[in-house]
Amino acid sequence: MIICVAGFSLAWQVQRHKGKYHSEAEMVKMLDGNLPIFDNGIFVGSGRCAGCHGVDPVGFANITAEGELVNPAENWRGTMMANSAKDPFWRAKLSHEMLVNPTHAQELVNKCTSCHAPIGKYTNSMNGNPDYDITQLPTDSMARDGVNCSACHQQRMDNLGQHFSGELFYHTDTIWGPYVSEEMDFPIFYQAMQSFVGYTPVGNHKFTKSEACAGCHTLSTHTADLQGNYTGQTFVEQATYHEWLNSSYKTSNDPAVHKECQDCHMPKLQEPIVIASGYSFLPGRQPYGQHWFVGGNYYMLQLLRNNIDALDLTANATHFNTVLARTEQQLLNETAQMQIIQGAIDQDTARFELHIKNLAGHKFPSGYPSRRAFVEFVVTDNNGNEVFRSGGVNEEYRVIGENTTYEPHYNMINSPEQVQIYEMVMADVNGNKTTVLERAADYLKDNRLVPLGFSSNPGGLYDTTRVVGINSDPDFNLENNVEGSGTDIVHFHLPIGAWNGDFHVTARLLYQTTPPQYMDEMFSYDSPEINTFKTMFNNLPASPFEVALAETNFSHVGVAEIKARPSIYPNPTLNGWVYLNNPQSLVTEVDVYNNAGQWLFKKYITQSQTAIELPESKGTYILVLKGYTERRVMKVVRN
């Protein structure tokens, strides 16, 4: 069959064009043997799509003007989407749920495979069998292809954004993409795809919208009591799509603010890209959405990379390292910002405000309930000795100071036993904490950072995305008493006691997708899937990822001397403005250098408090404070 396809490709191009084309040998090589090439009459494997949308042997298609490979097949195969059905955490958690409620095992399999193994599940459904046999998964190449090309591109456009929880609807003869023939000088060249895979490619603008992601990225589950009986209730386990709906990224008319899911997770190239190899007469298409599917699950990508052979993955270490690098950049640059604002310091208490801003178009963390972010707030003296700590992890990568049940939300922290953790905590029908999804009946807590524009007005969106347990925090999602800031302020009131000298404050926002605390309940059960994941989990430390950092300095050497010391705040700064607090006019001028030591400008100081605007470029700047009796060197970060 492959040779027939290649023969068609060669014959068509010889007839249509005398330019570049693939030989039969090249075409067979392009159908990567690691990717499945099934064709069951409804769906095809990703290896079939890679024939045209993979690596072009002659370097004409799926490549930028600078020579960067941007083909969908290679970009996709190292992602969580591509490996959704082989994800050992998912396999273990499904096994756990089935062991807890064995009478619901088939319903659990049907629901979970709808999104994690949709091609296997919906092949069965569309052939008249509503149930998927999970025992087939280890050998089912269709199901093990994960969220492959067909899983997204064969969705019916008229159902997008209307159905959730894995309720998907598919065409059997149509592939949808973002380019609309009627709007292009060169309409879609449909003949090749019709011959190769039996589909007609059609463009629709809906495919570039967040609705294309909605079917799996809002999920409700049926609640069961502790005896396994359904209560008739449903529980919103994750609602990433609805969180986006309840944000400025959806509602704003400002193109600088409005973003679809694809804008962040499939960043666009604004240059023409020929999207199918083998046809040198094809024009480039733009904008071109890269199939990065970049998210925040850094830990699981590492675990997959470390267990390629054991999990029989089709991606190699290079694929995973590429996705890990993109994930790292997403987490570092597009997730959250923080800054520390120093308040009053007296003989008893040092006061700080930690401002945290969510940059994502949904809650942070979002998605599966295991994910959490927490604040590590540490004060050290000049010798590096730790004098105060809230948060962080111990040698088992468990959050230090966390309550044995769950940690409440804090507006103010004044003790090392308190730690701010942003998370969803589920409760069973008795109001006790649970990690069993089917036992979830309500929320004990959901204080995850909400997106810009998030509203708590009653209605369908807030019912799905509500905040729980913040205890009327006046700083949560509020700025100047106006809702929708997507921020939180944590107040730290530190008992300074006998502290003396100069001190350094470090705040880190740390993110864990697979925290050990969440695994305890599942690891108390025994099954091959749980034991396999447990071994892999124990071999890879569940260290959190630092998504944001803020630092500042302060002194405590008696009230009079504190007031006499000049200081710079805020540090870091989000808008580029910093302020010099200059008591007794000790500082008369400030020289500003970049991090490479290059002098940028001088600011003469004539007041007790002076504003200084840093250059537009983000980065670290060195400020040299000079006066008759004063010379201090300070680093300031512009985020």
pLDDT for res 4:
35
Q: What mean pLDDT do residues 307-320 have?
A: 96
The set of residues, in sequence order, having a beta carbon less than 8 Å from that of 26 and lying 6+ positions away, is 6, 57, 58
Token representation of residue 278: 């083998």
Residue 27 within any structural domain of the chain: yes
- 3-class SS of residue 270: coil
Using alpha carbons, select from 62, 44, 65 the residue that is nearest to residue 53: 62
Token representation of residue 255: 């193109």
- Same domain? For 409 and 543 the reply is yes
> How confident is the model over 140-159, as pLDDT tens digits?
999 999 999 999 999 999 99
- Same domain? For 171 and 237 the reply is no
- Same domain? For 12 and 63 the reply is yes
Residue 319 within any structural domain of the chain: no
User: 342-357 burial, b if ≥16 CB within 10 A, otherwise e?
Assistant: beebeeeebbbbbbbb
> How confident is the model over 192-229, as pLDDT tens digits?
999 889 999 999 999 999 999 999 999 999 999 999 99
- Same domain? For 118 and 232 the reply is no
Token representation of residue 221: 């589950």
**Domain, as residue range, for 100:** 2-210+268-294
H or E segment and range at residue 609:
strand 609-613
- What is the C-alpha to C-alpha distance for residues 332 and 548, in angstroms, rounded to an integer? 7
Using alpha carbons, select from 464, 443, 432, 439 the residue that is nearest to residue 223: 439
Using alpha carbons, select from 275, 290, 370 the residue that is nearest to residue 330: 290
Residue 323 within any structural domain of the chain: no
- Same domain? For 222 and 206 the reply is no
- Altogether, the residues listed in the chain come to a count of 639
Task: Please state, rounded to an integer, the average pLDDT across all residues of the chain.
Answer: 91
Q: What mean pLDDT do residues 41-66 have?
A: 95
pLDDT for res 565:
67
pLDDT at residue 186 is higher than 60? yes
Residue 320 within any structural domain of the chain: no
- 3-class SS of residue 487: strand
Q: What mean pLDDT do residues 533-561 have?
A: 87
Q: What mean pLDDT do residues 318-340 have?
A: 97
Dihedral, 295, 296, 299, 303 alpha carbons, nearest 10: 0
Count of C-beta atoms within a 10 Å radius of residue 524: 9
Residue 308 within any structural domain of the chain: no
Beta-carbon-side half-sphere exposure of residue 27 (alpha carbons within 13 Å): 22
CB distance 293 to 261 below 8 Å? no
Looking at 557, 586, 613, the residue that finishes a domain is 557
Using alpha carbons, select from 162, 168, 147 the residue that is nearest to residue 210: 162
* pLDDT band at residue 568 under the 50/70/90 scheme: confident
Q: What mean pLDDT do residues 617-626 have?
A: 88
Looking at 500, 523, 557, the residue that finishes a domain is 557
* pLDDT band at residue 31 under the 50/70/90 scheme: very low
Q: For tokens 């659990």, name the residue.
A: 108
- Same domain? For 124 and 86 the reply is yes
Strand partners, 427: 433, 442
pLDDT at residue 616 is higher than 60? yes
- Same domain? For 576 and 538 the reply is no
Count of C-beta atoms within a 10 Å radius of residue 607: 9
pLDDT for res 595:
83
pLDDT for res 9:
35
Measuring CA to CA, how many Å separate 17 from each of 9, 184, 190? 11, 21, 16
Number of structural domains the chain divides into: 3
- Same domain? For 134 and 31 the reply is yes
Residue 477 within any structural domain of the chain: yes
Looking at 557, 584, 614, the residue that finishes a domain is 557
Q: What mean pLDDT do residues 251-261 have?
A: 95
* pLDDT band at residue 33 under the 50/70/90 scheme: low
* pLDDT band at residue 629 under the 50/70/90 scheme: low
> How confident is the model over 2-20, as pLDDT tens digits?
333 333 333 333 222 223 3
Using alpha carbons, select from 579, 571, 577, 589 the residue that is nearest to residue 632: 589
Instruction: Quickly list DSSP for 70-97.
Output: --HHHHHTTSTTTTTTT-HHHHHHHHHH
CB distance 622 to 608 below 8 Å? no
- What is the C-alpha to C-alpha distance for residues 514 and 512, in angstroms, rounded to an integer? 6
Instruction: Quickly list DSSP for 415-460.
Output: STT---EE-EEEE-TTS-EE--GGG--EEEEE-PBPPTT----SSH
pLDDT at residue 29 is higher than 70? no
- What is the C-alpha to C-alpha distance for residues 182 and 187, in angstroms, rounded to an integer? 7
Q: The domain spanning residue 576 has which CATH number?
A: 2.60.40.1930
Residue 442 within any structural domain of the chain: yes
Residue 634 within any structural domain of the chain: yes
Q: What mean pLDDT do residues 91-109 have?
A: 98
User: What's the one-letter identity of residue 236?
Assistant: V
- Same domain? For 522 and 594 the reply is no
- 3-class SS of residue 407: coil
Q: Say which DSSP state 27 is in.
A: H
Q: For tokens 């089935």, name the residue.
A: 98
Q: The domain spanning residue 455 has which CATH number?
A: 2.60.40.2360
pLDDT at residue 173 is higher than 50? yes
CB distance 441 to 234 below 8 Å? no
- Same domain? For 600 and 618 the reply is yes
Token representation of residue 505: 């404050």
> How confident is the model over 455-492, as pLDDT tens digits?
999 877 898 999 999 998 999 999 989 999 999 999 99
Q: Greater confidence, 285 or 10?
A: 285
- Same domain? For 356 and 278 the reply is no
pLDDT at residue 517 is higher than 50? yes
Using alpha carbons, select from 72, 50, 70, 59 the residue that is nearest to residue 2: 50
CB distance 462 to 497 below 8 Å? no
- Same domain? For 247 and 366 the reply is yes
Strand partners, 177: 203
